[in-house]
Amino acid sequence: MDSAGSSSAAESQISVVEENPNGQISAPPCLKEFSFADLKTATSNFGHEALLGKGAYGTVYIGWFDEKTLSPSESGIGMAAAIKIYYPETIQAFDQWQSEVNILGRRYHPNLIELLGYSWEDEKLVLVYEFMQKGSLDNHLFRCDVFKPLSWDIRLRIAIGAARGLAFLHSLEKQIIYRDFKSSAILLDANCNPKLSDFGLAKLGPSGDKTHVTTRMMGTNGYVAPEYFELGHLNVKSDVYSFGIVLLELLTGLRATYLSQTNDNLVKWLKPMLSQPKTLMDVRMKGQYSLRAARNATQLTLKCLEVNHKNRPSIKEVLEVLEQIEAMTSMKEDLEVLEQIEAETTMKKDPEVLEQIGAVTSMTEVTEVLDHIIAVTSMTEVPEVLEHVEALNSNKEVPEVLEHIEAIEEKPKNSNYRSQQSAAAHHGQRSILHRFLTSLKEPFRCVSSKLSCMRI
């Protein structure tokens, strides 16, 4: 396609979407219109070190800008942004560029990639997005040589965030069908929070009483819903099927196109195993999830992958189930905890345990006796008690102490007590006795408290 033809086609396409006196797309004030010269400065003239990756419709670079003004800055200074330059050779590239500006430029959601601005000079179509530090979910799931395996908690968080992004698109007055939902289109920030990107194939949903839009099949092999692949019928439930494929990838660690070389289908191969999550789950997550949570996740995946789109849940219903599974995980309802709870329940029914609980009262009486002993000591350090403290080094038993104190209380006081009390105080025996009896009392109180808790 020559440049004149391309330019003419571009102008006519734009006027269809939104007419204005200049014949150009009308972007909201929040979007910045970059000059191509500014983008060259931000990327060090699109140098090799700034290259992030290449796709079917364009090349992505990292650029640097001032955070407040978005003016270009030197490499490594200011705020990083992702700059996508579309290949100008095809009308599809322009369609995708226009679709992204129309959708992302007029809408915001925490789980949709933020579009910062655009550039359109001559045949150069460019979009500038926020930079996502950890790249795509696809890389983290399937490039084990570079990335550490994602934990169960993080995978669940990613699924929930992606579902929220889709639910937002589906809940708009004019529904937007994502049409190309896949793991490589889910980008992760520094904290692994997900955002949907690549809205080039997004399409408005059916209007009026229509149940679907008929269109030429476009999407990624392995993620396309059967009704869309076979008949070209597209609706929001087509996105739910694609979401189910990504859920399957998150649970198993297998790529959707894993069996493509053998002309087999990953969904058909794994569906019989979805009822047995133990054999299905990614071994790199072993021990990180409860069997109940895994079972609920696999059952949800099965529902998303129903052949008949009418039997699939809405993405809002999918989100609700995922949030329930997350609640299970936050409660740490794993097998070990369940076994521990079961063991505690059994212990509470054990006769011996019940007898121990009943003995709390008698042990409480012991602590009261010890309180009385300490009070007696503070008032009258009788010589017999002091002598017994010295005798503790001979390992005499506590019952003997109690019996001896009881006998002391029955003896009449005599004139020698006061002088012996002074001698005891002189040798520091008062503090020794008090510390001993106090330390003896605390363990009884602690055991009493723990047994009281078991009554619940």
Residues marked as catalytic: 180
3 state SS for the chain: CCHHHHHHHHHHHHHHHCCCCCCCCCCCCCCEECCHHHHHHHCCCCCHHHEEEECCCEEEEEEEECCCCCCECCCCCCEEEEEEEECCCCHHHHHHHHHHHHHHCCCCCCCECCEEEEEEECCEEEEEEECCCCCEHHHHHHCCCCCCCCCHHHHHHHHHHHHHHHHHHHHCCCCEECCCCCHHHEEECCCCCEEECCCCCCEECCCCCCCCEECCCCCCCCCCCHHHHHHCEECHHHHHHHHHHHHHHHHHCCCCCCCHHHCCCHHHHHHHHHHCHHHHCCHHHCCCCCHHHHHHHHHHHHHHCCCCHHHCCCHHHHHHHHHHHHHHHHCCCCHHHHHHHHHHHHHHHCHHHHHHHHCHHHHHHHHHHHHHHHHHHHHCCCHHHHHHHHHHHHCCCHHHHHHHHHHHHHCCCCCHHHHHHHHHHHCCHHHHHHHHHHHHHHHHHHHHHHHHHCCC
- Consult the annotation and say whether 84 binds a ligand: yes
- Residues making up the annotated binding site for ATP are 84
**Binding-site residue positions:** 84
